[in-house]
Amino acid sequence: MPDLGLIEAHAKDAVAAAIKADPMAGASKTVPVMCQRISAAAIENPQPKDAIVAAVRGSMQAVLLAGQNLPDAAIGLLDALPNMSLMMRAGPEELMSWVMGGVAEATKVAPPDVRDAVRARIEEKYMGASSIFDELCRAADANR
């Protein structure tokens, strides 16, 4: 059984360090670090879903705590998924759903306008995917 708290903490620390090293770089600096943490979580765990959700949740928490643009980070991460799914034991749709689940869990502690902005950007970029994000947000809220 993976230690999800440790996976989340490692992702949060790695993204926080990237932001601290270059606070102005935004998603261009943090998304590659997030991808590395997601890949590590997936490789190290036989059932990667929960590990990937934890890595994304930790990554997005670091973005939020640093006052960075969470919608930019979320969309940047979703844009990077087609390349990542080739290396994982999951299809692109499945991986996208897991990543959006991690984003949904991280946004439950953010102001409502942050979640709304993420939802709008997902709908703008991935037409129809915002309904999946909405379901994941409801599930995250139910687990409060």
pLDDT at 85: 63
**pLDDT for residue 84 is more than 80:** no
| Residue carrying the six token digits 């670090």 | 33
Mean pLDDT score across all residues of the chain: 92
> Confidence band (pLDDT; 50, 70, 90) for 8?
very high
Task: Evaluate the CA torsion angle 40, 53, 116, 93 in order and state its sign.
Answer: positive
Domain boundaries, the chain: 4-142
> Confidence band (pLDDT; 50, 70, 90) for 63?
very high
> pLDDT for 16-25, tens place per residue?
999 999 999 8
Render 29-61 in DSSP notation, one character per residue: HHHHHHHHHHHHHHHH-SSHHHHHHHHHHHHHH
What pTM does this model have? 0.94
**pLDDT for residue 1 is more than 80:** no
**Cα angle 1, 103, 16; round to 5:** 85
pLDDT at 86: 59
> pLDDT for 92-126, tens place per residue?
888 999 999 999 999 999 999 999 999 999 999 99
Q: What does the pLDDT average to over 127-137?
A: 96
- 51-55, 82-86, 89-93: range with highest mean pLDDT: 51-55
pLDDT at 47: 82
**pLDDT for residue 2 is more than 80:** no
